[in-house]
Amino acid sequence: MIDLEDFSEDIIGKAMRGRAISVADLSVSSGIEQERIRGLLNGDFEEDAARTISPHLELSADALVTSGNSLWRPEAVDLDGLEIFNTPWHDMRVNAFLLWDPASGNAAAFDTGADAGEMIDFVEKKELKVGAVYLTHTHGDHIADLDRVLSAFANPPVYVSGHEPLRGAISIPEDHCGRIGALSLETRLTRGHSRGGHTYVVTGLARPVAIVGDALFAGSMGGGMVSYTDALETNRQQIFTLTDHTVVCPGHGPMSSVGEEKQHNPFYPEFKTN
């Protein structure tokens, strides 16, 4: 079982940094003492304090409380044609994904993770044909084993956002379309965590799949390292408009679904229905 990437303290910290709100600022606007806010940031969860600060950070109070009390994790995903590989990178873990057309065996890799050994073994065991590597973004943990992947799979083309060019890779726009056997692939720009973060939406399996990189995590999101505002907005436009049963494949943490994120992701209170 893959652990959730973020906890309530991570969510609060990301919202504060993204909105440039200091502990002192949040204390003044919310009326919560600075010591209690620091406690929330250190993992000392207090429901009343969390509910009080939530509107000042534009977070869903109910979803934040659910996170703080560890009351939710996404349903397990078991989808023929999709596999996740979760490997250690320093003090965290990072995901890579493999998608394939079960009828033809044609496949594509999405990122490499820190160690592509399991992916390579899986491809050999299933006798799949990897015809492309798609990169969600070019941060080191997501492309750490790219050379090994290319060597193992006979140097397939590598595709990356034109906003994040990478030597040897083919730069593609956000409206790029492709095929993986009988499967269809559509590229969407979900920038903000990185300059040119791409989400790849693949249809043709029993459920649509969105490989989102660090744009979105189960119950959280990647930090808005380039632009927090853009990260929020491009996720709203490009991920939350997908059908609820779309599988969300993040760069860290477990897989989720668009419908589950609408209900449990504190950063997007407007989608919560109860």
What pLDDT shows up at residue 250? 98
What pLDDT shows up at residue 273? 82
* CATH dotted code for 8-68: 1.10.260
pTM: 0.96
What is the residue-level pLDDT of the chain in tens, covering all 274 positions? 899 999 999 999 999 999 999 999 999 999 999 999 999 999 999 999 999 999 999 999 999 999 999 999 999 999 999 999 999 999 999 999 999 999 999 999 999 999 999 999 999 999 999 999 999 999 989 999 999 999 999 999 999 999 999 999 999 999 999 999 999 999 999 999 999 999 999 999 999 999 999 999 999 999 999 999 999 999 999 999 999 999 999 999 999 999 999 999 999 999 988 7
**CB of 70 closer than 8 Å to CB of 3:** no
**CATH assignment of 82-271, among 3.30.870.10, 3.30.365.10, 3.40.1410.10, 3.60.15.10:** 3.60.15.10
Domain extent listing, the chain: 8-68, 82-271
- Token reading at 233: 């907005």
DSSP assignment of 150-200, as one string? HHHTT---EEEETTS--TTSEEE-TT-EEEETTEEEEEEE--SSSTT-EEE
Compute and round to an integer the Cα radius of gyration of the chain: 19
